[in-house]
Amino acid sequence: MKIGKLTDEQLQTLVLSRLPALSATTLSGAGIGADCAWIKTGEDLMVTSSDPITAGGTEAGTLAIHVSCNDIAACGVRPSGILIVIIAPPSATEEDIRMTVDQASREAQTLGVDIVGGHTEISDAVNKMIVVSTAFGLVRKGGAVPLGKAMPGDSLIMTKTAAIEGSFIAANEHRKKLEGKVSEEDIREALSYKDLISVVNEGSACGSLRSPSGNVREDGFALSAVNLMHDVTEGGVFGAAFEMADFSKTGVVIDKRLVPFTKASSSICAALGLDPFRLISSGSLMIASPYPEQVMAELDKQGVSSTVIGKFTDISEGLFYIENDGSYVKLSPPGADEIYSI
């Protein structure tokens, strides 16, 4: 099988179709485009999500905290706890373990997230460090919660810039391949993107924005001004847009001419022959909202840049992106991330 995430068809056939039915306390579980499960805990809600770090290299501990916490924040919830599983190859040293744990501890403390448990072992089943994290957060009764799906007419808002995490991984793990092709200034800038990978503050802030409509969800929680959010992980901007539309059963049009990139990311992608629109980009958040002005004003308060890059449409209109020449191209499902081609 190909390296990277399963295709949507494989995921449905090999995994999702074989899962048992959910109990009454689980409001929503695993699904294509659904990174988090929602579980009822008395009068409150708990949201939880798991993710592995398989290409993080020497920063696996750092990325492990952010990748799962970002999923929780993309639900409009501030994460409160996380579990970490470390599986290291026999070639790993005690210092490698210490470094990974120290990285995770530092990032968790910065976010105000408790590391509440996990597992650590050495195994010849892997040839490099694998770190899996499971984060969770709570929504108290009376809080605001996103609708849970994009609606036709919603604006598609993107925060920060594309290819953030992919640029960092490339600069951190594949520097020799960039030497002579990318300036030292751009490499140093890409290395600083480690500090941009969290979306916890902006995600939780936008999720708590109450809808001007004053409407409530079927479960009694107030509706947020955002309908759906998705952090841009494997598959990049195009992958995230496709998953949001597919999950919501809508169409989408994304204008690639509006997607923002830094000079450093553009240079790195060009040097390595990577498609920047399909490169992992933790740190960027995709938001579907009927109130883009309100959401972007809140993001501005958080010190986070944002750009409207498209719109959700009726499902009958399909999924497309607009090329540089203005032509419409069918948006294909996400496959293996570009980072694995380096």
Decide: 163 and 337 in contact? Cβ < 8 Å.
no
Residues 285-317 pLDDT 10s: 999 999 999 999 999 999 999 999 999 999 999
Nearest to 276 by CA among 260, 287, 288: 260
Buried b vs exposed e over 11-24: b needs ≥16 C-beta within 10 Å?
Answer: eeeeeeeeeeeeee
Q: CA nearest 140: which of 18, 277, 47?
A: 47
HSE toward the beta carbon, residue 255, CA cutoff 13 A: 12
Q: According to the model, what pLDDT value does residue 128 have?
A: 93
Whether pTM exceeds 0.75:
yes
Interval 140-164 mean pLDDT: 93
How much is the pLDDT for 140? Answer: 86
Residue 254 above 90 pLDDT?
yes
> What's the pLDDT band for 4 if we cut at 50, 70, 90?
confident
Question: Which segments of the chain belong to CATH 3.30.1330.10?
Answer: 8-143
> How many CA atoms within 13 Å lie on the side-chain side of 88?
21
Tokens of 252: 């989408």
Encode pLDDT of 219-237 as tens digits.
778 899 999 999 998 899 9
pLDDT digits (tens, 9 = 90+) for 48-63: 999 999 877 888 999 8
Q: How confident is the model at residue 335 (pLDDT cuts 50, 70, 90)?
A: confident
Identify the CATH number of the domain defined by range 8-143.
3.30.1330.10
Q: d(Cα 49, Cα 37) in Å, to the nearest integer? A: 7
What tokens does 120 get? 């650590």
Q: How far apart are the first and last CA of the chain?
A: 18
| Sequence-ordered alpha helix ranges (H) in the chain | 8-10, 60-73, 94-111, 164-173, 175-178, 184-191, 200-207, 236-248, 263-272, 292-301
For residues 99 and 258, give the distance between their C-alpha atoms in angstroms, rounded to a whole number. Answer: 39
Reported as half-sphere exposure (CB side, CA atoms, 13 A), residue 46 has a value of 14
Higher model confidence: residue 240 or residue 217?
240
pLDDT (tens digit, 9 = 90+) per residue, 158-214? 999 999 999 999 999 899 999 999 999 999 999 999 999 999 999 999 998 999 988
What pLDDT score does 220 carry?
77
* pLDDT per position as a tens digit, 37-50: 999 998 889 999 99
Domain with CATH 3.90.650.10 in the chain: 145-341
Structure tokens at 3: 């390296």
Give, as one character, the DSSP assignment of residue 127: S
CATH topology of domain 145-341: Phosphoribosyl-aminoimidazole Synthetase; Chain A, domain 2 (3.90.650)
